[in-house]
Amino acid sequence: MGFPNDSGNPGFFPLFLQVTCNCFTISNGEMQDVGVGLYPSMSLLNHSCDPNCVIVFEGYQLLLRSVREIQIGEELTISYIESLVPTSERQKQLMRQYCFECDCLLCQNQEKDAEKLAGEEHAWKEVKDAVNEVRYPKSKEEWEQILARCQNLLSSNTGRLPDTNIYQLKMLDCAMDACINLESWEEALYYGSRTLGPYRLYYPGFHPLRAVQLMRVGKLQYSQDMFPQALETLKQAYNIMKVTHGADHSLMQALMEIKEQCEAVLYRAYALYRTVIIMPLLDSDVPHHANRNAGLLEKEKEEKIKTIIKWFIISKSRRDENTPSEELRKESLDISLLPCLSVKYF
């Protein structure tokens, strides 16, 4: 085995190139790279930086899924590379790794390149170097070092780099990962929430990375008892993931499980809200109750809401025993009826 030799035998090198050009990076449920594999029929797919299909994995099984309507005869495309980087970098990477020049619409228009590199150049270059240096940490101490570096850079770049700058975005992602590994849930949610706007900008429509990011943020909100917000975030993840992963995917099953748990807690809270606040008010039509309820004081209302919240928090630790009854499920739940629950107390 070796590089091309004088005898005319092409040797190993062309074969090596063919393999590296046709390999697929296998990712886990959270879209983290875990290996590479050869899937010969999939190697026939051409590249577009704005493709009509995506590839997701279920274990080692590769799933090709369409993410928009495809006309009869239209070519199926996938993106060979990370589409987040600006046009010139995508072009360089495609030439280096796959030996071709991309002329897709995104490359022609250089769309969103300005946003991707917004902010002070020397600041994002420093962040870019720092992000590129990160290797997957193996210990708690290494995660702590990474988090400290992220915190330093993020605070020193306040006002100099918007979160839409892709290197700043990568740094926020990195800080979120570090916090999750160090079990600093509140801080993880803080960084994760900041990434959602840029993710929406760069991964519009149906993109698996956005679905996974929404799911991660939704789980963090759920773990911190922010149930209405968690439900909203998980619903957004669900709407994208049913296209990018499909209903049978294990990640989708996990998402549906946590979404249902979140709904169950909210159904219970709503039921209690009805019993304590709404029903007494409806009873006010009855003269006997009129005086008592017509003047339900704001302070009194607040006390009752606090009681609900307490119950709500306690029920969280026992939520398995508190799944809603069928009867309760049939009642339509309008989260907007819970303004006091959604913002003020969570």
Which residues would be at the binding site for Zn ion (CB under 5 A)?
Answer: 49, 102, 104, 107
Smallest gap, in angstroms, from Cβ of residue 59 to Zn ion? 30
Residue 90 CA to residue 83 CA, distance in Å, equals 7
Which is nearer to Zn ion, 48 or 342 (by Cβ)? Answer: 48
Residue 7 CA to residue 201 CA, distance in Å, equals 54
Smallest gap, in angstroms, from Cβ of residue 95 to Zn ion? 12
Which is nearer to Zn ion, 49 or 309 (by Cβ)? Answer: 49
Bridge partners of 61? 58
Smallest gap, in angstroms, from Cβ of residue 41 to Zn ion? 23
Smallest gap, in angstroms, from Cβ of residue 107 to Zn ion? 3
Task: Give me the amino acid identity at 226.
Answer: M
Smallest gap, in angstroms, from Cβ of residue 134 to Zn ion? 27
97 touches 43 (CB < 8 A): no
**DSSP letter string, 108-139:** HHTTTHHHHT-S-HHHHHHHHHHHHH-----S
Which is nearer to Zn ion, 49 or 55 (by Cβ)? Answer: 49
335 touches 235 (CB < 8 A): no
DSSP state of 335: G
Which is nearer to Zn ion, 82 or 283 (by Cβ)? Answer: 82
Smallest gap, in angstroms, from Cβ of residue 48 to Zn ion? 6
Which is nearer to Zn ion, 47 or 242 (by Cβ)? Answer: 47
Which is nearer to Zn ion, 28 or 110 (by Cβ)? Answer: 110
The upper half-sphere exposure of residue 149, i.e. CA atoms within 13 Å in the direction of its Cβ, equals: 19
Which alpha helices (DSSP H) does 203-332 contain, by range?
208-223, 227-244, 250-273, 279-282, 287-294, 298-317, 326-330
Residue 80 CA to residue 25 CA, distance in Å, equals 9
